[in-house]
Amino acid sequence: MSATIIDGKAFAAKVRGQVAEHVARLKGDHGITPGLAVVLVGEDPASQVYVRSKGKMTVEVGMNSYEHKLSADTSEDDLLSLINQLNNDPGVHGILVQLPLPKHLNEDLVINSIDPAKDVDGFHISNVGLLGTGQKAMVPCTPLGCLMMLRDHHGSLSGMNAVVIGRSNIVGKPMAQLLLGDSCTVTIAHSRTKDLPAVVRGADIVVAAVGRPQMVPGDWIKPGATVIDVGINRIDAPEKGEGKTRLVGDVDFDSAVQVAGAITPVPGGVGPMTIACLLANTVTACCRANGLAEPEGLTA
Ligand code: NAD
């Protein structure tokens, strides 16, 4: 039996459509256009690609996009002063500082200088605390996207055993908090977990966020389980020609698809949901800033 493929590309398009509808309502009924400011420091090629597609999709859903490109040798003071300016700009509802930052800049300091209400990445310590205590927070985009797909597939997640592999601040830990918030019994596995295969075999939901190509084989998966593959890894693909590469997840898709009940592919699974959730968070931040009703189904 082959698993249901959870189509993140289609789901993300649906989320962007809902965001666009809400943006149109904000403009038409209240004369407010949500604005997202993205700050990029340096010339990291992958970051440039992300920032470009974020800007493009922001405009596509009808929001204002503000891109701030700073040179790699920008001082911490200059970056903090830009963030302060954006914090105080009423036309900016969301601020995202593209990570990683050049080594001479203190990421924690920079992230924690963003107004938590505009922290659409959900990395500010206040948002981490709010999420951890079950309060209204800005939720990190990738785990939020995973949660949306799980809710869409299952309806209620209550009582399910969930295993999150990876304990990073941007994916693993917030993912675990969200699943706990939806009343799953949550295990966080990591590089020191003993007998990872046995831990994963107990899971109704597996979220893999490690960064190791195809490390989770199908025989670790409980038959019928739902597998959310966050990993994005580039590997050699000699079958496509010399020097060619392809993207794979942290799960060995070909074997896992035979056992799982549902699975996200890579590419086309979690990846597209991340930007869609960034746009959703920006609309949410805009509604909260203006004391208006938040879009339904686009928050945790
Ligand atoms: P990270 O490097 O910060 O964290 C990786 C985690 O994996 C660590 O907590 C570590 O303990 C755990 N780990 C390492 N080796 C392990 C092992 N052998 N067994 C079990 N656990 C192990 O990575 P991250 O930022 O959380 O990203 C994880 C993956 O998700 C990467 O491939 C990244 O590219 C991808 N990612 C995708 C998106 C998206 O939009 N789809 C967003 C963020 C990250």
Which residue in the list 98, 177, 214, 222 is annotated as catalytic?
98
Q: Could you give the CA distance from residue 226 to residue 36 in angstroms, rounded to a whole number?
A: 33
Catalytic residue, from 18, 54, 229, 252: name it.
54
- Whether 85 sits among the annotated catalytic residues: the reply is no
Tell me, in angstroms, the distance from the centre of ligand 1 to residue 105's CA.
22
Which single residue is written with the structure tokens 């977990």? 193
pLDDT at 182: 98
145 annotated as a binding-site residue: no
Q: What is the pLDDT of residue 1?
A: 67
CA of 166 to the centre of ligand 1 (A): 5
Catalytic position from the list 118, 119, 121, 173: 121
Looking at the CA of residue 250, tell me the nearest atom of ligand 1: 32
| 126 labelled binding-site residue | no
Q: Which two tokens stand for residue 262?
A: 């549902």
Residues of the chain with pLDDT under 50: none
Antiparallel, parallel or unpaired: β 4-5 and 262-263: parallel
Distance, CA 171 to ligand 1 centroid (Å)? 7
122 Cα distance to chain centroid = 10
| Structure-block tokens of residue 257 | 């698809």
Question: What is the distance between the alpha carbons of residues 253 and 248, in angstroms, rounded to a whole number?
Answer: 8
Query: Where do the structural domains in the chain lie, given as residue ranges?
Result: 29-117, 141-272
Q: Which atom of ligand 1 is nearest to the CA of 212?
A: 32
Task: Please work out whether the CB of residue 189 comes within 6 Å of at least one atom of ligand 1.
Answer: yes
The token pair at 283 is 């609309």
Does residue 135 have an active-site annotation?
no
The DSSP output letter for 209 is: -
Q: Annotated catalytic, 48?
A: no
CA dist., res. 212 & res. 165, Å (int): 11
Q: State the DSSP H helix or E strand holding residue 152, giving kind and residue range, or none if neither.
A: helix 141-154
Distance 12 CA to ligand 1 centre (A): 21
Amino acid at 153: H
Return the closest-CA partner of residue 276 out of 5, 4, 7, 8: 8
Which residue in 7, 5, 6, 11 sits closest to 276, CA to CA? 11
Token pair 């007998």 in the structure block, residue: 195
User: Which CATH architecture describes the domain 141-272?
Assistant: 3-Layer(aba) Sandwich (3.40)
Ligand 1 and 143: CB distance under 6 A? no
Pocket test for ligand 1, best of 9, 196, 214, 230 (most atoms within 8 A of CB): 230
Rounded CA separation 169/128 (Å): 9
pTM above 0.95, yes or no: yes
- Asked if residue 166 belongs to a known ligand binding site, the reply is yes
Q: CB of 232 within 8 A of CB of 214?
A: no
Q: How high is the pLDDT of residue 105?
A: 98
Q: State the residue for tokens 């700073």.
A: 70
Are 103 and 73 a contacting pair, CB within 8 Å?
Answer: no
Q: Which amino acid is at 34?
A: P
Check residue 9 and report its DSSP letter.
H
Domain 29-117 - what CATH class? alpha beta
Query: Is residue 149 in contact with ligand 1, taking CB distance under 6 Å?
Result: no
Chain centre distance of CA 214: 20
Q: What pLDDT score was predicted for residue 140?
A: 98
For residue 256, what pLDDT is reported? 98
The CA-based angle 274-275-277, given to 5 degrees, is 70
Query: Are domains 29-117 and 141-272 of this chain identical in fold?
Result: yes
- Report CA(173)–ligand 1 centroid distance (Å): 11
| Whether residue 231 has its Cβ less than 6 Å from ligand 1 | yes
C-alpha–C-alpha distance, residues 61 and 34, integer Å: 10
Nearest to 221, CA basis, from 194, 254, 269: 254
DSSP letters spanning 33-101: --EEEEEEES--HHHHHHHHHHHHHHHHTT-EEEEEEE-TT--HHHHHHHHHHHHT-TT--EEEEPSSP
